[in-house]
Homo-oligomer: A and B are copies of this chain.
Amino acid sequence: MRKPRSICAECPALEKGLCGALRDDELARLGAVTRHRTFPAGHVIHAEGEVPPSFCAILSGVVKLMKSLPNGNQQIVGLARPGDFLGRPFGGEARASAVAASEIKLCWFPRATIEGLASESTAVKDWLFEHVADELERAQEWIMLLGRMTAEQKIAAFLMTVLRDQRAQQTDAARTSGDVIIELPLSRTEIADYLGLTIETVSRQIARLRERKVISVGNSRTMVVHHPEVLEDVVESALPGERAKEALRV
């Protein structure tokens, strides 16, 4: 017997996510049609141009939203993390594919459910609006990054966002040391597609940061950040690397 409460109990979407905006009876209604599903990395949740039949919240893992150009080039136009949702209620066909970047857990339910809920509950509408507005802000940050940053700055900025995301989740305990271990949610190829670079450039810039002892690279998905301040400086710096090099010389 699956009681709605039990499935939602230890859900990351419960507090900050969509479900936090629901009243108990609404939550129960949602819980009744909800399915938690797990997918492996690479799984296509919905493809560009399709009308997604379902709507879902991400429980764990990272989903990349990507568009592709006729020539085969692709660009990741956004990342969705736990608490984010996939799909546009009342929208038509998706304008980007949603693909699992790692193994993911999803809270999955029919499109009609979310649309019904949104039609009736003003809290749900409010939540959706705020969420989309936040996503728009993030997209605009990214436009800035893609349009005006050098490869070095892009990599530094990317590492900073991973760092921030990871800090937000873990306890204060792990933060005391200057060194921080981070887990990259993306492969080199995906980082390249995210930052609008080639995989080689990504690799070289990471190598440079390693040579400068700002980071250490373990296996390709993990690294240790020794000097977050330097990364910050690189992002801020006008002439790439200028202030950053000074900061390192200490």
Contacts and interface: CB of A to CB of B under 8 A. Distances in A.
Interface in A87-123: 88, 90-91, 95-96, 122
Interface string A128-172: 111011011101111110111100000000000000000000000
A188 interface: no
A69 B125 contact: no
A96 B142 CA distance: 13
A126 interface: yes
A73 B148 CA distance: 7
Contact of A129 (B65, B129, B147, B149): B129
A78 interface: yes
B71 A137 contact: no
A77 interface: yes
A143 B144 contact: no
Given A73-B148, A139-B143, 8 more contacts: A69-B149, A75-B148, A90-B130, A95-B140, A125-B129, A142-B143, A147-B193, A147-B195
